[in-house]
Amino acid sequence: MVLELLHNRRISCGMIKILNCRLIWIVLWETVPLMIMSSLFYLMMIQK
């Protein structure tokens, strides 16, 4: 019983880690282009 609970907890921890990695990747994919676009826009504004 206890071993089963521990095993299940380990699996859930693994799932949580995978979900966290996915969330981090999604956030990076969403924010990095925005940052690049905003920095390019900022540079263009400075050029003028």
Please count the structural domains in the chain: 1
Provide the pLDDT for residue 11. 72
Domain limits for position 5: 1-48
SS3 content of the chain, % helix, strand, coil (to 5): 95, 0, 5
Tokens of 39: 């920095």
Cα distances (angstroms) measured from residue 21 to each of 15, 16, 18, 48: 10, 9, 5, 40
pTM metric for this prediction: 0.48
Q: Provide block-wise average pLDDT over 10 residues at a time, the chain (48 residues).
A: 71 81 90 94 91
